[in-house]
């Protein structure tokens, strides 16, 4: 007698959801990490180090946000945030003099990266039980110093590891995507650790992640030596100023200041409105998503649009979004604007980072990187201080931000046109001279080697 085939058992909905989640984790995290681990490309090996470093910083930020911002009254939180902003400027003042000679001479960049990760791991272990003590801010300051050291050395290692085929823009964008992935991957771990173990939980997890980052440094190949550092140092001012970067730096500094202003304006506006914590997470996630989208789109832009058009478009889109958000204080609109502002800031960052790495001579990398990092960090802190210290409403702040964006865009366009007018007569004179000279120049054929130079025409 034949048997009736059994119907396949249907999985419950929760099992299907769990299976889909596991598959998504494999596709988004596990498989890319395996590819990077096995890849012979040096930028992939460094990407693992950068990913874990950013993930550790994200875990630290989650714990500090809970300790400094959310669980204290608004007046006290403003004071503590202002103190923390002041601390963010000191790391560059302390780390800059140490990093300049290392980068200028192409010193032990891998060793410095290892020390920055291992130092943060040890400091995180020490900080975890000290969140309510007076040691909080000094230890956080030391961790910020090491984080800045990692960021400064990152510019030099990106230049060393980026291939000619990929280029600096694509290499920076790839590391940007890796950083976003590290922050997104660390966020749920940090929130779960915060719920389960309090403020010490994310910091203890950060200690483990920083230790992993230090181990990833051991796999980095040697970044190589400088081409001719003694000659290239003469092309840069003593304080690291490069004339070709003056105009792009104006736009990048303005966007960085606006980013600091917007972040804390929205944070205190939402805090005053007594919104649920998930709203903060939604808006922060929207900003991170905008950063990720910019990292995907930026490498595909045409080369001649990467400087002026990218900065102008970033400023204008952020200004239009600020004007709309000033009239409609709604969570969905704020999330859309956070996405737009995150993308605009990342576009400008990528454009300037690529230009800086391209124009910075190898013998003066330290001076150049530290100079512009100090300017950017100072601009971000200056913008953030305004909504933290002044009793400004959200609508007033967005109007101020709209005017600032408009002024920045107008100034940038005016300087671009002024520079083009100044360069045009030189190009016309050069073209005219080439046409008049002919193939052998205005005075006939070139003199023989070693002979006297031709006389100037009367």
Specify whether 168 is located in the same domain as 279. Answer: no
Specify whether 332 is located in the same domain as 216. Answer: no
**Domain boundary pick from 195, 222, 249:** 222
Burial 147-164 (b: 16+ CB within 10 A, else e): bbbbbbbbbbbbbbbbee
Residue 292 resides in a domain: yes
Q: What's the whole-number mean pLDDT along residues 254-263?
A: 85
Lowest mean pLDDT among 4-13, 77-86, 325-334: 4-13
Specify whether 313 is located in the same domain as 185. Answer: no
CA distance 275 to 335: 14
Lowest mean pLDDT among 225-229, 408-412, 417-421: 225-229
Contact 367, 100 (CB under 8 A): yes
CA distance 240 to 233: 10
pTM (global) more than 0.85: no
HSE, CB side, 13 Å, CA atoms: give it for residue 374.
Answer: 18
Residue 396 resides in a domain: yes
pLDDT by residue (tens digit) across 157-210?
Answer: 888 888 877 777 788 888 888 888 888 888 888 889 988 888 889 999 999 999
Residue 253 resides in a domain: yes
CA distance 421 to 321: 32
> Taking CA 357 as the corner, what is the angle to CA 167 and CA 56, rounded to the nearest 5 degrees?
90
Give the pLDDT score at 123.
Answer: 94
Name the nearest CA neighbour of 120 among 99, 157, 145, 89: 145
Specify whether 179 is located in the same domain as 279. Answer: no
What CATH number is associated with residue 292? 1.20.1250.20
CA distance 399 to 128: 41
Residue 215 resides in a domain: yes
HSE, CB side, 13 Å, CA atoms: give it for residue 442.
Answer: 9
Name the nearest CA neighbour of 110 among 242, 268, 216, 255: 216
Specify whether 218 is located in the same domain as 244. Answer: no
Mean of the per-residue pLDDT values for the chain?
Answer: 75
pLDDT by residue (tens digit) across 364-392?
Answer: 666 777 778 778 888 888 888 888 888 78
Cα Rg of the chain (Å, integer): 26
- Chain length of the chain: 458
CA distance 126 to 124: 5
Compare 400 and 304 and report the one with higher pLDDT: 400
CA distance 71 to 84: 15
Highest mean pLDDT among 58-62, 271-275, 278-282, 334-338 belongs to 58-62
Contact 175, 43 (CB under 8 A): yes
Residue 60 resides in a domain: yes
The parent domain of residue 266 ranges over: 239-420
Q: What's the whole-number mean pLDDT along residues 417-426?
A: 71
Residue in the block written with tokens 């988004």: 28
Residue 429 resides in a domain: no
Neighbour count for residue 89 (Cβ, 10 Å) = 15
pLDDT by residue (tens digit) across 273-292?
Answer: 766 667 777 887 888 888 88
Specify whether 298 is located in the same domain as 411. Answer: yes
Residue 2 resides in a domain: no
pLDDT by residue (tens digit) across 195-244?
Answer: 888 888 999 999 999 999 999 999 888 876 555 444 444 555 555 677 77
Phi, psi values for residue 40, rounded to 5°: -80, -5
Specify whether 304 is located in the same domain as 408. Answer: yes
Residue 432 resides in a domain: no
Consecutive H or E run containing 185:
helix 167-197
Give the pLDDT score at 135.
Answer: 82
Total domains, the chain:
2
Per DSSP, 234 falls in state G
Specify whether 247 is located in the same domain as 396. Answer: yes
């Amino acid at each position: 007698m034949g048997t009736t085939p059994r119907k396949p058992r249907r999985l419950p909905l929760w099992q299907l959801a769990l299976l889909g989640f596991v598959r998504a984790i494999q596709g988004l995290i596990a498989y890319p990490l395996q590819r990077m681990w096995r890849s012979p490309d040096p930028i992939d090996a460094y990407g693992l180090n950068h990913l874990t470093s950013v993930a550790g910083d994200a875990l630290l930020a989650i714990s500090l946000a809970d300790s400094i911002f959310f669980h204290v009254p608004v007046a006290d939180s403003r004071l503590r945030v202002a103190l923390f902003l002041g601390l963010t400027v000191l790391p560059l003042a302390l780390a800059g003099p140490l990093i300049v000679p290392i980068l200028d001479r192409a010193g032990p960049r891998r060793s410095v990266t290892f020390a920055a990760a291992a130092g943060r791991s040890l400091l995180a272990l020490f900080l975890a039980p000290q969140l309510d003590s007076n040691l909080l801010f000094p230890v956080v300051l030391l961790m910020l110093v090491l984080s800045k050291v990692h960021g400064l050395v990152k510019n030099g290692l990106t230049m060393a590891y980026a291939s000619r085929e990929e280029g600096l823009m694509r290499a920076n964008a790839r590391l940007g995507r890796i950083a976003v992935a590290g922050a997104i991957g660390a966020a749920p771990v940090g929130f779960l650790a915060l719920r389960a173990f309090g403020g010490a939980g994310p910091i203890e997890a950060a200690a483990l992640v920083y230790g992993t980052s230090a181990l990833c440094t051991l796999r980095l190949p040697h970044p190589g030596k400088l081409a001719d550092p003694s000659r290239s140092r003469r092309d840069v001012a003593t304080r690291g100023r490069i004339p070709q970067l003056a105009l792009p730096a104006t736009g990048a500094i303005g966007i960085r200041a606006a980013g600091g202003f917007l972040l804390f304006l929205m944070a205190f506006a939402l805090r005053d409105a007594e919104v649920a914590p998930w709203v903060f997470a939604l808006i922060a996630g929207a900003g991170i998503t905008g950063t990720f989208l910019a990292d995907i789109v930026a490498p595909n832009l045409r080369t001649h649009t990467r400087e002026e058009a990218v900065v102008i478009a970033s400023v204008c889109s952020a200004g239009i979004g600020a004007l709309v958000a000033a009239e409609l204080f709604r969570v969905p609109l704020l999330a859309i604007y956070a996405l737009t502002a995150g993308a605009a800031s990342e576009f400008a960052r990528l454009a300037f980072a690529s230009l800086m790495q391209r124009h910075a001579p190898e013998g003066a990398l330290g001076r150049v990187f530290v100079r512009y990092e100090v300017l950017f960090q100072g601009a971000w802190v200056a913008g953030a201080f305004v909504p933290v210290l002044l009793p400004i409403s959200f609508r007033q702040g967005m109007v101020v931000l709209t005017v600032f964006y408009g002024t920045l865009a107008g100034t940038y366009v005016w300087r671009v046109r002024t520079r083009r007018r100044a360069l045009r007569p030189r190009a016309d004179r050069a073209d005219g001279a080439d046409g008049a000279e002919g193939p052998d120049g205005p005075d006939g054929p070139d003199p023989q080697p070693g002979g006297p130079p031709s006389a100037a025409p009367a």
